[in-house]
A and B are shown apart, each in its own frame.
Chain A
Amino acid sequence: MSKAASRVANGGAKGHAQDGGASPLSSNLRRLSLANPPPKPSAFADPSSDICPVCKSSRYLNPNMVFLVNPECYHKMCESCVERIFSHGPAPCPIAGCKRTLRRPKFRRQTFEDLKVEREVDIRRRVAKAFNKVEQDFETLRDFNDYLEVVEETTWNLILKIDVETTERRLRQFEEAQKAELNAVNPAAARRVNEPDPTVLSSTSHVVLKKGATQRKVASAVNTPDPFIEDTKTDNGFIFRGLKKPKPPPPKKVFDPFEGYGITPDYYVTQESYDVDWLTWFKDDKAHSAGGFGMKDFYDHMLCESFAGLGVFVGEEIEARENGASGDSAIGTQTAAMAAAGGAKDVDMDDVF
């Protein structure tokens, strides 16, 4: 047991020592080479991953053991420890030297084997959510590239823990400024965006650990116009050159299934009711109206048929059409039939197709 504990203490150095004492560079190169692939990272390869640093129970005794990490400090511990320590609310991290307050819902299984990668991915995800501009949002490519550089710098500041306080503050300010802008342009879209996304860790949520005075203070600050808040709002955290003003999306058109097509009668206006002897029977017939048959539709139909083609003069129009189509007469069944008929052969009906 003591041997295992010492391995936990200096895991990294031990790993290099096991490679036969070679320099770190050569061992890295060996790992990269295709000739002898690196040993598969099995659960039993590294004993440190098998023993919970809190309760020291090992996978050997409990094969179903699951390790969890909290994105606050990325310290690994087993599920039962998490259950035991954090089930009654926020508590400090039990690993020696780490005083961060952790909460149970934030614990999760790690996605990447390397916790550094895990952390970097988390940070990148969060930064990318705040800096969501694309090239079209900028006037020139140069401006976009400058923006990308600022984004990358911010990301690396957070990853390498350089100037974390300032960077975090600026990032938060920028996020809020973005939200406010979106809200002014398109309230519906802003509402959608502002809804908390449970999958992405929020930057502000961890600040307010204890429900109480702090939260109330924040809430009141949002509600009442505070000169101090106003001041910080004018400072957007980041200022980018050549950023275009966001354009409000065009208002949504009312859905039109006919895409503008419609029948506008030229010769008649349908009335609500017509009174003729031969219609009274249908009007009074319950069987018709119960089936959803509307008399108005009937009137519309009749009147439309009354004048459909009134201004169509067949003689003229057909002649005009024939003359127009004489150049390329292979249009339409009729012309095709005529063409076939014009040839030496008869229109053989039995095998016309």
Chain B
Amino acid sequence: MPLTEDDLYRTSTQYKYWSFTSAQLATQRETTNLQATERVKANVARQRAARARSQVESANTSDAGSGVETGGNTPLHLGAEKEVNCLTVAEEKKLVDTFCERALELGSFLKFPIDVTATGIQFLRRFYLLNSPMTYEPQTISRTAMFLAGKLNNHNVGIEKYVAKFPKVTAEQVLAPEYLLVQGLRFHFQVRHPFHGLKGGHLEMMEMARGNAAPAPHCTETREELQKAMLALPKHARGNPQPWTVEQMEKRITQAYGFADKRILKGPAQLTDAYFLYTPSQIWLAAHLLADEPLTLFYLSTKAPPTSPLHEKLLATLRACAALLSAHHTYKPDTLSAAEKEARDKLEKEQVSALIRKLKHCRDPDKMDLVKLNAAQKRDAVRADGELEESVAKRRKVQREGFEKQADDFWGPELKKEANGTK
């Protein structure tokens, strides 16, 4: 049974589990937000009730000491019964997008290759599709996601080295949410990126310009005809055909490649929902479409002839994807003047800091300390003071002594060391 490229893509987890329609995405985000909100409210209410009880008790025992122990990490300072103001769906999405942008910067700061960074960002996006930033704090998770992406993409940095790059971050803090993240990703570690596809397309276009490219299996034209058609492409969309030399065409193709790679695939493609909504080959073609429309349309026509129904459908999809990519604010930042840009950045910054402030007041108190939660799940559940529980420690000791005794019975006791240190 022969398999086509499309069949191969259909076997990937990205297609099976992480591709959605936009309606599905919206519902999923709403569901996640709703659940997180309910949970935060319930947990905060529970904690407040517990604190109120203990306050009443302490007030009964000693009259002094009012409000001393309210230094917990949930907001309780103003009006004890004030309802928690949770994030909305839009705010959550904005927050996740912001942290994805920061993750991109984080990747360049860590000097990770782009596909590692991109994997980390997609991990974040997938994780926050099913979890809310109110439950798990995005900054912690993004550090872990980056670390995990490095490990999974043949770019392993030891945890000690990795942690050393951040001030005030311990190895436990990075490792604690790792399993949580992996569960949230449903153990699907492969992310298919459009970077390789863009390279392949670039290679083929270059050969096409030189007249060496073997035509696709269903293509009726010869390689010479393809070259001739390519060297007579218009410069811009809706322009007139004009002659090109091979060198000029090569330069044009390289430019388009550079633009699509640096400006789109490494920016907007990562920071939008493109990976959920489109396939990697559609993403790179859409990026190329934005970079050089006549060239991309010509290239597409050699793959799917304009007469076929696939061509029209494909083009519609590519245009929709291109619209999504070009709508992002990181696309073509040069078109804005410096003042405009500054003003926009400032506004953005204010919005984000307000959001982060708001987030601080609506965190889920149960999931506040991931390190402790992680430690509690392990077999040697440690207590707050870092000591094993007494009964557990005692049982362990008895067991160990039993094992040692068994081993001694079988192998004989350990050799006695010489008392006077002779060798």
Residues of chain A whose beta carbon lies under 8 Å from any beta carbon of chain B: 260-271, 274-277, 279, 299, 301-315, 317-319, 322, 332-334, 337-338, 341-342, 346-347, 349-350, 352-353
Residues of A within 8 A of B204 (CB): 268, 274, 303, 306
From known contacts A276-B203, A305-B197, infer whether A350 and B180 are also in contact, taking CB-CB under 8 Å.
yes
Can you name 8 extra interface pairs (CB under 8 A) apart from A308-B9, A310-B282?
A: A261-B1, A269-B216, A269-B217, A305-B192, A306-B199, A308-B279, A309-B279, A338-B28
Residues of B within 8 A of A265 (CB): 4-5, 217
B284 touches A306 (CB 8 A): yes
**How far, in angstroms, from A306 to B196 measured CA to CA in the complex?**
7
Residues of B within 8 A of A307 (CB): 5, 197, 200, 281, 303
B1 touches A260 (CB 8 A): yes
Residues of A within 8 A of B192 (CB): 305, 308-309
Tell yes or no: B313 within 8 A of A by CB.
Answer: yes
Residue total for B at the interface (Cβ-Cβ under 8 A)? 68
Residues of A within 8 A of B198 (CB): 306
Residues of B within 8 A of A263 (CB): 2-5, 8
Tell yes or no: B73 within 8 A of A by CB.
Answer: no
**How far, in angstroms, from A342 to B183 measured CA to CA in the complex?**
18
From known contacts A306-B200, A307-B197, infer whether A271 and B213 are also in contact, taking CB-CB under 8 Å.
yes
From known contacts A271-B212, A306-B200, A307-B281, infer whether A313 and B4 are also in contact, taking CB-CB under 8 Å.
no
From known contacts A271-B214, A332-B17, A346-B35, infer whether A301 and B314 are also in contact, taking CB-CB under 8 Å.
no
Residues of B within 8 A of A322 (CB): 24
Residues of A within 8 A of B317 (CB): 313
Instruction: Report B15-73 residues with CB < 8 Å from chain A CB.
Output: 15-17, 19-22, 24, 28, 31-32, 35-36, 38-39
Chain A to chain B: the 5 pairs with minimum beta-carbon distance, closest first: A309-B279, A309-B9, A302-B200, A306-B200, A269-B214
What is the chain A residue whose CB lies nearest that of B127? Answer: A349
Which of these, B19, B130, B216, contacts A318 with CB under 8 Å? B19
Residues of A within 8 A of B314 (CB): 310-311
Tell yes or no: B84 within 8 A of A by CB.
Answer: no
**How far, in angstroms, from A279 to B207 measured CA to CA in the complex?**
13
What is the chain A residue whose CB lies nearest that of B281? Answer: A310
Between B1, B131, B218, the greatest number of chain A beta carbons within 10 A of the residue's beta carbon is seen for B1
Give 7 pairs: A residue, B residue, CB < 8 Å, sorted on A.
Answer: A260-B1, A275-B207, A308-B8, A309-B6, A313-B317, A334-B16, A337-B186
Which of these, A310, A334, A353, contacts B6 with CB under 8 Å? A310
B31 touches A310 (CB 8 A): no
Which of these, B31, B32, B197, B377, contacts A306 with CB under 8 Å? B197
What is the chain A residue whose CB lies nearest that of B196? Answer: A305
Number of cross-chain contacts by CB at 8 Å: 176
From known contacts A310-B282, A314-B279, infer whether A341 and B4 are also in contact, taking CB-CB under 8 Å.
no
Residues of B within 8 A of A304 (CB): 5, 8, 200
Residues of B within 8 A of A271 (CB): 207, 212-214
From known contacts A265-B4, A349-B180, A349-B183, infer whether A309 and B21 are also in contact, taking CB-CB under 8 Å.
no
A309 touches B5 (CB 8 A): yes
Tell yes or no: B325 within 8 A of A by CB.
Answer: no
Instruction: Report B116-130 residues with CB < 8 Å from chain A CB.
Output: 130
Shortest beta-carbon distance from A271 to chain B in Å: 6
What is the chain A residue whose CB lies nearest that of B3? Answer: A263
**How far, in angstroms, from A10 to B227 measured CA to CA in the complex?**
108
Shortest beta-carbon distance from B45 to chain A in Å: 16
What is the chain A residue whose CB lies nearest that of B181? Answer: A349
Q: Encode B202-233 as 1/0 by CB contact (under 8 A) with A.
A: 11101100101111111000000000000000
Which of these, B130, B196, B216, contacts A301 with CB under 8 Å? B196
B183 touches A305 (CB 8 A): no
Q: Encode B99-143 as 1/0 by CB contact (under 8 A) with A.
A: 000000000000000000000000000000011000000000000
Tell yes or no: B10 within 8 A of A by CB.
Answer: yes
B21 touches A315 (CB 8 A): yes
Tell yes or no: B278 within 8 A of A by CB.
Answer: yes
**How far, in angstroms, from A310 to B280 measured CA to CA in the complex?**
8
Residues of B within 8 A of A337 (CB): 130, 186
What is the chain A residue whose CB lies nearest that of B32? Answer: A341
Residues of A within 8 A of B215 (CB): 269
A314 touches B21 (CB 8 A): yes
What is the chain A residue whose CB lies nearest that of B279? Answer: A309
Instruction: Report B349-383 residues with CB < 8 Å from chain A CB.
Output: 373, 377
Q: Encode B128-170 as 1/0 by CB contact (under 8 A) with A.
A: 0011000000000000000000000000000000000000000
**How far, in angstroms, from A3 to B82 measured CA to CA in the complex?**
124
Tell yes or no: B75 within 8 A of A by CB.
Answer: no
Residues of A within 8 A of B4 (CB): 263-266
A274 touches B207 (CB 8 A): yes
Between A261, A311, A337, A342, the greatest number of chain B beta carbons within 10 A of the residue's beta carbon is seen for A311
**How far, in angstroms, from A333 to B187 measured CA to CA in the complex?**
10
B207 touches A341 (CB 8 A): no
Residues of B within 8 A of A317 (CB): 19
Tell yes or no: B310 within 8 A of A by CB.
Answer: yes
**How far, in angstroms, from A261 to B2 measured CA to CA in the complex?**
5
B200 touches A318 (CB 8 A): no
**How far, in angstroms, from A348 to B301 measured CA to CA in the complex?**
48
**How far, in angstroms, from A248 to B416 measured CA to CA in the complex?**
78
**How far, in angstroms, from A301 to B10 measured CA to CA in the complex?**
16
Tell yes or no: B76 within 8 A of A by CB.
Answer: no
Residues of B within 8 A of A305 (CB): 192, 196-197, 200, 280-281
**How far, in angstroms, from A313 to B9 measured CA to CA in the complex?**
11
A303 touches B203 (CB 8 A): yes
B218 touches A266 (CB 8 A): yes
Tell yes or no: B184 within 8 A of A by CB.
Answer: yes
Shortest beta-carbon distance from B95 to chain A in Å: 19
